[in-house]
Homo-oligomer: A and B are copies of this chain.
C-alpha cells in the first residue's frame, strides 16, 4: 500500500475517533514508514497519530522525524513521557531529542532518567550540535589489543551487542586510546590463538570531539569506513560516529547548500509553517532589497541617456540578467567543488583563471548573438556594439565573482553558499547597468 493511501485511512479513523484502529495500522509498518505517514499528516493530527504507538516504536519514530513535526510533537507530550521514550534510545539520540526541549523541561526529563544514562546525556549536551561530540554514539564495542581472538569472541557473545554496534569492533590500548579496528569477518576467519593486534586494521584518520560534523562525514565517505572513533584531547576514545550518521550529515549539508544558494534560511523545510517561513526569509529579502536598490541607483545616474535612447531600457535587463545567470553557473560549480573537496588551496588559482577565460568566451558567444538581435531590432550598428560589449564585460565579471565569492567565504571560515547567489546577482546587476548605460552615454551621439 502506498503512503498516501495509508494516510487517507489514518485520517478517516481520526475523524471517526477510532484511535485503536490507527495504532493497528501503524504498528504493522517499519518505523521509517511510520515517520513518512506522520510527516504527511496535517500538523493538527500528528500528535494524535503519534500517541497510538507503543513506547519502543515511538522512540524509533521520534528520532527520525524532521525538525518541524518533531517540534509539534515535543510541545504536546509531557516531560515524563519523553523520559520514557528516551530510555529506549541510545544516548546520542536521547541528547538530540532533549536538546530540542525548552530548558525547564530538559531538567525534568533528565531527572527522570537512570543516573548513568542522564550523566551520559548531560555530557553529550555540552558539545555543539554540529560537532563530532554532538553526533557520536557513546555506546560502542571495544576490545583490548592484547587479547586473543577466542577471548574477544567470547567477550562479544557475552555482551550481545546490537548489530549496528558491531559494524566495527574497536581495538584500544591500555589507556583506552583507539589503535585500530577489526571486523567480524576478521574475527571469524582468524585462527583462535592469534592476537587481536596482529589482525587489527588501522584507521586512516582520527576524529576529535570538537571537529565539525562535515569533516567527520567526509572522513567516513572518503575512506569508505563504516565508522570512526571520536577521541578527546588526550586521545582517549569517547564514542563513535557511524556511516548512517554520516549519511544524515551529508544530507543536511546538501540541504544547507541548496537553501543558502537559493537565498533561503538553512533550517527551513517543507514542514515549516507559513509565519515562520516568512520570518526566516524576510531578512534575506531585505538584505537583497538594499543591494537591489543600490544597483538600481546606478540606473538613476543615467536618466538623461535613458530619455534620449529609450530602446536601451529594453536591453538593460537582458545584460543584467545574463551576467547573473552566467555567474550563477560558475557559483554552482564552485560551491559543489568546495563541498566535495575537489577545489583545494592548490588548484584554486588555476580554477579562477579558467573561470575568467570561460566568462570571456561565454560573453563573446552571448554578446555576438544579442548584438545581432539589437541591430535587427533597431537598425543601429552602434547600439549592437554597446550591448555586445557590455555583455562581454558583465559575463566576465559574473564568472569572476561566481568563483571569488564562495572561495573568499570559505577562506573566512564561512559557508561558501551563504547568500552567495544574492551577492553575485547584485554585482552583475550593478556592473550590467553601469556598462550598458555608461557605454550608451559615451556613444550617445551615434545612438540618437
Contacts and interface: CB of A to CB of B under 8 A. Distances in A.
A331 B185 CA distance: 47
Interface in A416-439: 421-422, 425, 429, 433
Contact of A188 (B153, B246, B369): B153
B166 A204 contact: no
Interface residues of A, number: 122
Given A278-B358, A285-B325, A307-B307, A332 B259 contact: yes
Interface in A319-335: 320-322, 324-326, 328-329, 331-335
Nearest to A305: B310
B4 A345 contact: yes
Copies of this chain per assembly:
2
Contacts of A160: 189
Given A306-B306, A354-B274, A188 B284 contact: no
A320 to B, nearest CB: 6
A421 B281 contact: no
A74 interface: no
A112 interface: no
A39 interface: yes
Interface of A: 3-4, 7, 30, 32-33, 36, 39-40, 42, 66, 153, 156-157, 160-164, 166-167, 183-186, 188-189, 204, 221-224, 226, 243-244, 246-247, 250-251, 254-255, 257-259, 261-264, 268-274, 277-278, 281-282, 284-286, 288-289, 292-293, 295-297, 299-300, 303, 306-307, 310-311, 313-318, 320-322, 324-326, 328-329, 331-337, 340-347, 350-351, 354, 357-358, 361-362, 365-366, 369-370, 373, 421-422, 425, 429, 433
Nearest to A168: B163
A30 B166 CA distance: 24
Contact of A333 (B163, B269, B285): B269
Contact of A317 (B250, B251, B357, B433): B433
8 closest A-B pairs by beta carbon, nearest first, are A262-B332, A270-B337, A254-B254, A184-B184, A264-B329, A30-B204, A163-B183, A270-B342
B318 A317 contact: no
A49 to B, nearest CB: 13
A362 B317 contact: no
A349 to B, nearest CB: 11
Contacts of A223: 30, 32
A244 B270 contact: no
A386 to B, nearest CB: 15
A311 B321 contact: no
A178 to B, nearest CB: 17
B204 A221 contact: no
Given A263-B325, A328-B421, A340-B255, A285 B362 contact: yes
A362 B274 contact: no
Contacts of A243: 226, 243-244, 247
A342 B269 contact: yes
B39 A342 contact: yes
B289 A318 contact: yes
A304 to B, nearest CB: 9
Given A32-B222, A254-B257, A299-B317, 20 more contacts: A3-B346, A40-B346, A157-B188, A221-B251, A250-B254, A258-B335, A261-B332, A262-B332, A264-B333, A277-B333, A277-B358, A284-B329, A285-B326, A288-B321, A289-B369, A289-B370, A296-B317, A306-B306, A317-B429, A321-B425
Contact of A351 (B32, B188, B270, B293): B270
Nearest to A328: B262
A336 B247 contact: no
A288 B163 contact: no
Contacts of A292: 317-318, 321-322
Given A322-B288, A333-B264, A166 B185 contact: yes
A289 B366 contact: yes
A3 B218 CA distance: 15
Contacts of A293: 318, 370, 373
5 contacts: A258-B258, A258-B261, A269-B340, A296-B317, A325-B422
